Amino acid sequence: MAEVPDWRGAVASAARVVVKVGSSSLTTRDGGIDDERVRALVDALAARVRAGSEVVLVSSGAIAAGLAPLGLRRRPRDLATQQAAASVGQGMLMHRYTSAFEGHGVRVGQVLLTAEDVIRRSHYRNAQRTLYRLLALGVLPVVNENDTVATHEIRFGDNDRLAALVAQLVHADALVLLSDVDGLYDGNPRNPGAKLIPEVANASALDDVDVGGVGSSVGTGGMVTKVEAARIATGAGIPTLLAAAADAGRALGGDPVGTVFAAWGRRRSTRLLWLAHATAPRGRLRLDAGAVRAVVERSASLLPAGVTAVEGEFAAGDPVELVDEKGHAVARGLVNFDATELPGLLGRSTHELAADLGPAYEREVVHRDDLVVLSR
């Protein structure tokens, strides 16, 4: 009989672990940074570093930290004010981390990412190289979305998802999501009778769990985003633990706290994970039945002959959604042509286009290396 893996033990022994902490776990009710909470988190992470692990911290809190100095009572809804709050708060947050980790002899480095930085082939390698070098130098990277420049059209949207993707980016052995909730429940934890789920054996076990609701007044996440992050990470072979931030030390030590999600998938190309989960499509390409089969079943590139319609405004290199004849999304990829160029190419072979327009047009609309098939 096959031995059941000890996933909590896997988290406790992980040589490289990504830890994510949410805004509500770092701030006071009025939005200011809670130094005691920061110190408690840092103590737990520094202990893990002393034990020989490499740690990457994905930290929310920049926007929340900027609320009080700007006289804002709650998280702003408009992007410009969010960016202003992040600009003020990010420096304050990093100052707290630098000072707290310094007391443990641990150096930290700030890494701010946008989805644009990592969906493009050359850019994501730069992000990966930077994180690897920081770890090699004994520096603990503190990662956050670059809210000061991110746009609605192309952003991660929440740091739970960012953490899952960073875990894949650095080839982490485990992901720990710290929150103001102590784990996943079989219903709303505020309701009487809701029970903590100590372990999730596979993705299908989540289908009947109620994870509705939104995050706190200072954050963007909620249980939905945490479960989605767990799906991304475990689907890439990375065990994930969801626990309360107050239990950070115990969670990292393998104690029976929170909810552990078993790793079930295998590692995939990092860039394709970014493409599937960290991008908002700028447009849509409608495919005929033959092109759908080629892309989905044969992992082939998308050629102009298989495209029947173009929707949206996009430039070469932007992410686009590939949809079937009924409008169902079947894949996502980085397009090689501007939206204004494509209509004149549809339904034609690459050889024909090259003969009429030149060799530059003998190329795929979406190359298979820049394409990821979506689960249906």
Q: Among residues 254, 274, 294, which one ends one of the domains?
A: 274
User: Rounded to 5 degrees, what are φ and ψ at 38?
Assistant: -60, -45
232-234-238 Cα angle (round to 5)? 110
* Angle value at C-alpha 118, between 225 and 293, nearest 5 degrees: 80
Which is it for the CA torsion 341, 347, 351, 352, positive or negative? negative
The answer on 231 and 116 residing in a single domain is yes
Distance CA 201, CA 207 (A): 12
We report the CATH number of the domain holding residue 309 as: 2.30.130.10
Percent of the chain with pLDDT over 90: 49
**Do 80 and 175 fall within a single domain?**
yes
What are the Cα distances from residue 133, in Å, to 2, 111, 145, 230, 370?
39, 12, 19, 26, 26
Task: Mark which of 274, 305, 324 sits at the end of a domain.
Answer: 274
Task: Give the Cα separation of 269 and 62 in Å (integer).
Answer: 30
Statement to judge: residues 227 and 290 lie in one domain: no
Q: Model pTM?
A: 0.79
Note whether residue 2 is domain-resident.
Answer: no
* Residue ranges of the binding site for ATP: 20, 179-180, 220-226
Query: How confident is the prediction for the chain on average, in pLDDT?
Result: 85
Q: What is the DSSP string of 24-68?
A: GGTB-TTS-B-HHHHHHHHHHHHHHHHTT-EEEEEE--HHHHHHT
Q: Average pLDDT, stretch 349-354?
A: 87
Domain boundary among 274, 302, 322: 274
- Which 8-state DSSP code applies to residue 69? T
Residue 313, class by beta-carbon neighbours within 10 Å (0-12 exposed, 13-18 middle, 19+ buried)?
Answer: exposed
Q: How confident is the model at residue 32 (pLDDT cuts 50, 70, 90)?
A: confident
Residue 244 above 90 pLDDT? yes
Q: What is the average per-residue pLDDT within 43-71?
A: 92
State whether 236 and 216 are in the same domain: yes
User: Same domain for 350 and 243?
Assistant: no
Instruction: Say whether pLDDT at 342 is over 80.
Output: yes
Which residue would you say has higher pLDDT here, 3 or 285? 285
Tell me, yes or no, whether 317 and 181 share the same domain.
no
pLDDT at 306 over 80: yes
Residue 344 is assigned to a structural domain of this protein: yes
Euclidean distance between CA atoms 295 and 292, whole angstroms? 5
* Residues 91, 199 within the same domain: yes
Is the pLDDT score of 217 beyond 60? no
How does strand 283-287 pair with strand 307-312? antiparallel
Residues 220-228, mean pLDDT to the nearest whole number: 74
Tokens 């190359």 correspond to 367
| Percentage of residues in the chain having pLDDT higher than 70 | 85
Of 272-281, 321-330, 348-357, minimum mean pLDDT range:
272-281
Do residues 288 and 261 share a domain? Answer: no
Question: Tokens 């900027």 map to which residue?
Answer: 66
Q: For residues 203 and 217, which has the higher predicted lDDT (pLDDT)?
A: 203
Q: How confident is the model at residue 218 (pLDDT cuts 50, 70, 90)?
A: very low
Please count the structural domains in the chain.
Answer: 2
Q: What is the mean pLDDT of residues 228-233?
A: 88
Looking at residue 309, the DSSP 8-state letter turns out to be E
Each residue's pLDDT tens digit, 96-146 = 999 999 999 999 999 988 766 665 666 778 888 999 999 999 999 999 887
Helix 35-50 / helix 79-102 crossing angle, nearest 10 deg? 60
Q: How confident is the model at residue 216, as a pLDDT? A: 42
Residue 151: pLDDT above 80? no
Q: How far apart are CA 30 and CA 11, in angstroms?
A: 34
In this predicted structure, what is the pLDDT of residue 220? Answer: 37
| Residue 1 in domain | no
Residue 279: what pLDDT? 66
* pLDDT attached to residue 148: 61
CATH at 96? 3.40.1160.10
- Do 265 and 317 fall into the same domain? no
Residue 359: predicted pLDDT = 86
Inter-residue contact 239 to 174 (CB < 8 Å) = yes
On whether residue 186 sits in a domain, the answer given is yes
- Tell me the C-alpha distance between 216 and 40, whole Å: 21
Whether 184 is covered by a domain: the verdict is yes
- Helix count (H) and strand count (E) of the chain? 12, 13
Distance of CA 348 to the CA centre of its chain: 37
Query: Running DSSP on this structure, what letter comes out for residue 339?
Result: T
Q: Is 68 contained in some domain?
A: yes
154 pLDDT band, cuts 50/70/90, is very low
Task: Detail the residues annotated as belonging to a binding site.
Answer: 20, 60, 147, 159, 179-180, 220-226
Model pLDDT, residue 110: 95
Residues 241 and 322 in one domain: no
Whether residue 212 sits in one domain with residue 89: yes
Domain membership of residue 142 (yes or no) is: yes
pLDDT at residue 376 tops 60: no
pLDDT at 288 over 60: yes
Contact partners, residue 79, CB within 8 Å, separation at least 6: 151, 152
Q: What is the pLDDT of residue 322?
A: 96
Binding site feature residues for substrate:
60, 147, 159
Residue that wins the pLDDT comparison between 227 and 210: 227
Q: What is the CA radius of gyration of the chain?
A: 22
What is the residue range of 215's domain?
Answer: 7-274
Asked if residue 135 and residue 239 are part of one domain, the reply reads: yes
- Rounded-to-integer distance, Cα 64 and Cα 76, Å: 10
DSSP state of 363: S
